[in-house]
Structure 1
């Protein structure tokens, strides 16, 4: 299955778990064609920080918002943070 920005659906985000949030970040990253390393350079985080967010281990709102901005994710995606 191919994921594109148009079908990387994260609607209904109320009550998203850390794993759901991390999965949404991963899907948007992949749909944008970024590797973890590419995204790290783009948003100024380390690849380890991004990996921890994608697995739900670290959901620092500031880091998540930096990633969301770099991936041009809808601002409402992480309203629950």
Structure 2
């Protein structure tokens, strides 16, 4: 992984990472923040849906994301 250039979609399944930033318009960032996807939080891609969208664990809570959102979430290794 390459630090701030690594999107959540590039992270191998089950690898723990820390959220660095979200590069998306405000109207797309706000729902993520409301669900606990905050800078500094730890998360993992635990599996993919049949459509290929990631299902992530954020501080122990499972959330489904759209692939389009996941590529805008940048993480670093912990």
Give the TM-score normalised by the residue count of structure 2.
Answer: 0.33
Structure with the larger strand share: 2
Q: Which protein is richer in helix relative to its size? A: 1
Larger RCO: 1 or 2 (CA < 8 Å, sep 6+): 2
- Please give the TM-score of this superposition, normalised by the length of structure 1: 0.32
